[in-house]
Amino acid sequence: MSVESSRAFLRIVYDSPELNQQLKAVTGTQEIVRLGLRYGYTFDVPELMEASSSFTTAPGRAPKAARRTVPPPPESGPLHHEYRLDDLPGLKGMIDQLPHLKIKPPSVDPARFSGSFREEDLRSTSMSPADPAFQAWHEAMTKAHWRDPALGSSAPRRDFHLVNLDEHVDHPGYDRYLEAKHRMIRTLEEFFGSEVRFSGSLWYPPSSYRLWHTNETQPGWRMYVIDFDEEPAGTSFFRYMDPRTEEIVTLDERPRMVRFFKAEQDPGKLFWHCIVNPTQQHRWSFGFVVPEDWMTAITRQM
């Protein structure tokens, strides 16, 4: 294992279209370590972090962004767009992959997971990000790096009470799962005619949540495919605050749906959002970074 091996891997990644394609499907650092091993490069997560912090590419080699027509942000109207996956025949390939992606890795400890549920944190999703009481709570949490100060720096993070599937690579089903993620990317790139990357693959067991956040460090359009293990008796929801009006919008969810929204960086346009699954069903969401003109492909199907 070495930082040099990690650096050598990053160099070949940069030059190889095949590896670039592979990387579009992974979001976890453990996944990159595993991918490196597959190509004969041995390194661990700290070595990868060290190599990537000092990794520079030759001048003039940065990939060129494609020129596309981008619609201006709406002055009014909803900031989200939702569709039924079944209404988009061009995305049928995604429906076929869902059974391979909706996994429950055996490396997840269900008792430890339910033990980290906190009523106080869940309650914060009922507040408005514009409320000074929320802002004070949020600031205190941020200062504590979303960890309970009483439990020390190794305490679990409180803002993600869910399972990030991409952090679980040491289970027998991982390779099959990764193959399905690759097929998902192929389907989406064909559909949008442009580059698409996974942004996250999340399993929301019963009574799970992702607290209010903005994703401002990764601005751009997101597409999420949402599905359940069975028809939920109640409903999970996605909630956001419209930055133009501070109105809180709560969107109920149903199986096999697709949602688009845009993460913004401008302090006046931040897209505060949170997700809660209070049902007894299991919810999965698969997120993608999609091109700015994603709606052109959708409109062609309607």
Q: Provide the binding-site residues for Fe ion, judged by CB under 5 A.
A: 215
- Contact between 133 and 127 (Cβ < 8 Å): yes
Q: Which is nearer to Fe ion, 220 or 255 (CB)?
A: 220
Beta-carbon contacts of 15 under 8 Å, excluding residues fewer than 6 positions away, are none
Q: How far is the CB of 213 from Fe ion (least distance, A)?
A: 6
Q: Which is nearer to Fe ion, 274 or 297 (CB)?
A: 274
Q: How far is the CB of 275 from Fe ion (least distance, A)?
A: 8
Q: How far is the CB of 222 from Fe ion (least distance, A)?
A: 7
Q: Which is nearer to Fe ion, 7 or 158 (CB)?
A: 158
Q: Which is nearer to Fe ion, 7 or 259 (CB)?
A: 259
Sign of the Cα pseudo-torsion (157, 206, 287, 178, in order): positive
Measured between alpha carbons, how far is residue 184 from residues 179, 187, 292 in Å? 9, 5, 19
Per the structure block, which two tokens stand in for 84?
């039924």
Q: Which is nearer to Fe ion, 173 or 220 (CB)?
A: 220
Of 183, 173, 280, 174, residue with least CA distance to 228:
280
Q: CA-to-CA distance for 157 and 154, rounded, in angstroms?
A: 9
- With tokens 């064909």, the residue in question is 190
For 114-131, the DSSP string reads: HHT--HHHHHGGGS-TTS
Q: How far is the CB of 54 from Fe ion (least distance, A)?
A: 29
Q: How far is the CB of 43 from Fe ion (least distance, A)?
A: 29
Give the helix ranges, DSSP H, for 55-173: 92-101, 110-115, 119-123, 132-143
Q: Which is nearer to Fe ion, 8 or 130 (CB)?
A: 130
- Closest-CB residue for Fe ion? 215
Beta-carbon contacts of 170 under 8 Å, excluding residues fewer than 6 positions away, are 107
Q: How far is the CB of 215 from Fe ion (least distance, A)?
A: 5
H/E element, 9: helix 3-15
Q: Which is nearer to Fe ion, 22 or 215 (CB)?
A: 215
Q: How far is the CB of 274 from Fe ion (least distance, A)?
A: 8
